[in-house]
Structure 1
């Protein structure tokens, strides 16, 4: 078990230490659930009352929040409590699952594949023809990498993930369990005789930049032609659908159960709230925010926040909701 003194933690966070505690801190927990040897955090003033009844021996607090000290309890004031907590979680993080051997004997690796130095490949993995794995790539058990895919250095791929043929993956990516990269895009048209559907082949690929993280059970479909593109630093939550020929800029965020239809373009830093859906061929420009549960039917201007179904300017939509509420009471 990892344990630290309050002085060691404050040295890491470079905060202002108020008071002290002689407890050795062995973990982190929410204020209401913490025990005497755990530290917690407050990033919003509405949680301050919980501090008075909490058993936590220390708390990390944003500078703009007023809080009173307690006996044998420490307060660390920092610029941003959420970011400080993220840093602390890293040092308390347990070790990931270990590999007894770098390449498990049950893994199937085509003789034409190139495996970089320090790669680890778990049980029952499949690495296809002409695949290239950079240095330090980790494939946990039951990962499948199909032909001619290229994966950059220090990328980690968790169990059950399938990466289809000809995909290009950058450095330092993380794909969680059961991610699908490069599956066939969804496209059908009525057949000539009008009695069925004709499948539209998708012969492109997926290109994913550096430091991209994709949550469990999410899908990124390959393009009809050319590429579906995920830019550097994008963070994709669980159960997200990104359809064929979508292009995401840098550092976009998509929350759980959201989805992009075909040929959607996101600028840099776009945020898509959970359970939102974006119509095909829509462009959401840089810095825009789509509220959770919204349905976007048209382009969104840079920096604009939209909510609702169909999505519209947040301020206008809030006025509509207030008006409807008043009408319902009249």
Structure 2
């Protein structure tokens, strides 16, 4: 088990050490659950009152806090507690599952596939015709990568994920369990006789940039033609839908249960809250935020925050909610 002195931790965190503790730190924990061999974090003033009864021997706290740690306890004052905690969690991060062999005997790898140096391919994986894997790509058991797909260096694909044909995947991506990339977009039209639906072929692909992370059970559908595109650095939560021909700029965030309909365009740094839905052929410009549970029916200007169903300027929507609440109280 890993353990560190508070001084060793501070060398990595680069905070201001207040107080001291002789306890070896064996991991992080919530303030109310921590024991004497653990470090916790106090991200806001409302949690400061919990420190007195906490058993933690150390805590990350904000640089503007005036708290004192107490006997044989220590604080690491940092500018941003969340970012410091990220470094701390990385320090104690357990190792990834072990591969006994680079390519498991039960994996099926087509003879035309090009496998880069240091790749790991787990049990029951399928790697199709003319697939290209860069260096240090990891496919955990039961991953399928279909024909003519390329995956760049250091990308990790977890079990159950399916990457359909002709997709282009960047480097240092992470796809969690049961992600679907490149399935048919949802395209149907009523038949001429009005008695059924005609399927519209989806012949495009998906292009995913570098350092993209996609959560479990999320879907990115391929384009009807051209490409569905996810830009560098985007982070997508679990159970998210990105429909055909949508385009996400750089460093966008989509929280769980949110979805983009077909041909939506997101600028750079757009944030989509949980369970929000975006109408087809809508543009949300750079730096905009869509509140959780909102329904966006039209374009959103750069830097704007919208809220509600249908979504509108967040401040106006909050005023409406207050007015409705006052009205209901007076009935």
Q: Give the shorter-chain TM-score range.
A: over 0.9
For residues 243-289 of structure 1, the C-alpha deviation after alignment (integer angstroms, 9 at most, x for no partner) is 00000000000000100000000000000000100000000000000
Where in structure 1 do 4 or more consecutive aligned residues deviate above 6 Å?
none
Give SS of 2:10's match: helix
Question: What's the CA shift for 1:46?
Answer: 1.1
Counterparts of 1:68-217 in structure 2, within 5 Å, are: 68-217=68-217
Distance in 1 between the 2:44 and 2:8 partners? 25
Gaps of at least 5 residues in structure 2 are: none
Question: What's the CA shift for 1:69?
Answer: 2.0
How many residue pairs are counted as aligned between the two chains?
330
Matched, 1:262 2:256: no
Paired position in structure 1 for 2:312: 312
Paired position in structure 1 for 2:303: 303
Distance in 1 between the 2:252 and 2:90 partners? 23
Matched, 1:30 2:30: yes
For residues 116-143 of structure 1, the C-alpha deviation after alignment (integer angstroms, 9 at most, x for no partner) is 0000000000000000000000000000
Paired position in structure 2 for 1:12: 12
Question: What's the CA shift for 1:68?
Answer: 2.5
For residues 286-314 of structure 1, the C-alpha deviation after alignment (integer angstroms, 9 at most, x for no partner) is 00000101100000000000011111100
For residues 60-114 of structure 1, the C-alpha deviation after alignment (integer angstroms, 9 at most, x for no partner) is 0111233232111100001101000000100100001000000001000000000
Matched, 1:59 2:41: no
Distance in 2 between the 1:208 and 1:52 partners? 48
Distance in 2 between the 1:321 and 1:66 partners? 37
Distance in 2 between the 1:174 and 1:94 partners? 17
User: Comparing 201-210 with 63-72, which one deviates more in the overlay?
Assistant: 63-72
Give SS of 1:18's match: strand
Paired position in structure 1 for 2:226: 226
Gaps of at least 5 residues in structure 1 are: none
TM-score (norm 1): 0.99
Distance in 2 between the 1:65 and 1:292 partners? 31
For residues 187-207 of structure 1, the C-alpha deviation after alignment (integer angstroms, 9 at most, x for no partner) is 111100001111111000000
Give SS of 1:53's match: coil
Paired position in structure 2 for 1:322: 322
Question: What's the CA shift for 1:11?
Answer: 0.7
Question: What's the CA shift for 1:150?
Answer: 0.3
Distance in 1 between the 2:131 and 2:5 partners? 47
Question: What's the CA shift for 1:43?
Answer: 1.5
Distance in 2 between the 1:120 and 1:56 partners? 39
Distance in 2 between the 1:43 and 1:64 partners? 11
| Residues 266 and 285, structure 2, Cα contact 8 Å, conserved in 1 | yes
Question: What's the CA shift for 1:37?
Answer: 0.7
Give the superposed CA RMSD.
0.5
Distance in 2 between the 1:159 and 1:69 partners? 44
TM-score (norm 2): 0.99
Paired position in structure 2 for 1:2: 2
